[in-house]
Amino acid sequence: MAKRAPRAVGIDIGGTGIKGALVDLSDGSLLTDRIKVATPKGAEPEDVLAAVKKVLSTIGDHDAPLGVAFPAVVRRGKTMSAANVAKTWIGFEAEDFFQQGLGRDIHFANDADVAGVAEVRYGAAKGVDGLALLTTLGTGIGTALIYDGVLVPNSELGHLPRANHKRSAEQWAAYSAKERDELSWSAWAERLQWYYSTLEDLLNPDLFIVGGGVSKHADEFLPLLQIDTPIVPAVHRNNAGIIGAAALSVD
Ligand code: BGC
């Protein structure tokens, strides 16, 4: 009998949607459709768990390893922040909560970090020397710092403050801010120009990678940015979180 490709399920919990799929770990491709449900209003733990269960039951393959990504700082299984989810998650034993609620072991990590892992293993950061900085532009701004292929976890550069302004980088320049303020691509790109040139000044990365759902429209805004650092869309676009969560589940 032919050997089955190594596979795992990845679930990516975001501020707006909860997405999942079964992933072929040999190349990071999706073996099932990408299943998506809306993140429940308020994003309280019990409601998020119920939504994750719904996604998992649609995917099937209950024996595959499972990785879950979450939009918060994750330290030893605990969620330590809550920018776009209920404040209940701050200091919450989230990994245990999901393991008990789902009745199976999981690997639990920050959503942008796992997207970074996906891009290192199967995408734009593969083989990149030095500092690759992945940013996800969605409900919030997530970041993953990858140095010589190694993730430095829990960077939160989406929350960079803006001098003399109330709104942080994320509140001003995330994709949700484009929608909220009904910005054209070029008006939004002006905000991104500030964001990426600030990151460039502070961190001097070798490569920026742009993920999140809007990365499929990268042609509309990346060419408008004037920065010295190369900047490319995430190869796995908005699936990077699913793929990275799955990949980490077997580490
Ligand atoms: C959170 C990050 C997360 C990002 C993208 C931010 O608000 O603080 O942990 O990675 O949103 O979801």
Q: Is 241 in the pocket of ligand 1 (CB under 6 A)?
A: no
Q: Is 110 in the pocket of ligand 1 (CB under 6 A)?
A: yes
Q: Is 71 in the pocket of ligand 1 (CB under 6 A)?
A: yes
pLDDT score, position 118: 98
Distance 85 CA to ligand 1 centre (A): 10
Please state, in angstroms and rounded to a whole number, the distance separating the CA atoms of residues 131 and 9: 28
Distance 72 CA to ligand 1 centre (A): 5
Instruction: Tell me the best of 13, 139, 152 to mutate to test the pocket of ligand 1, counting ligand atoms within 8 Å of each CB and taking the most.
Output: 139
Task: Assess contact for 20 and 56: CB atoms under 8 A.
Answer: yes
210-225 burial code (b ≥16 CB/10 A, e <16): bbbbbbeebeebbeeb
Q: pLDDT in tens for each of the 251 residues of the chain?
A: 556 779 999 999 999 999 999 999 999 999 999 999 999 999 999 999 999 999 999 999 789 999 999 999 999 999 999 999 999 999 999 999 999 999 999 999 999 999 999 999 999 999 999 999 999 999 999 999 999 999 999 999 999 999 999 999 999 999 999 999 999 999 999 999 999 999 999 999 999 999 999 999 999 999 999 999 999 999 999 999 999 999 999 98
Task: Assess contact for 48 and 95: CB atoms under 8 A.
Answer: no
Task: Assess contact for 243 and 23: CB atoms under 8 A.
Answer: yes
Instruction: Domains for the chain: give ranges and CATH numbers.
Output: 7-113+240-248 (3.30.420.40), 127-234 (3.30.420.40)
Please state, in angstroms and rounded to a whole number, the distance separating the CA atoms of residues 63 and 59: 11
Distance 83 CA to ligand 1 centre (A): 7
Index of the ligand 1 atom closest to the CA of residue 136: 5
Q: Which amino acid is at 107?
A: H
pLDDT score, position 5: 74
pLDDT score, position 1: 53
Q: Model's pTM, two decimal places? A: 0.96
pLDDT score, position 62: 82
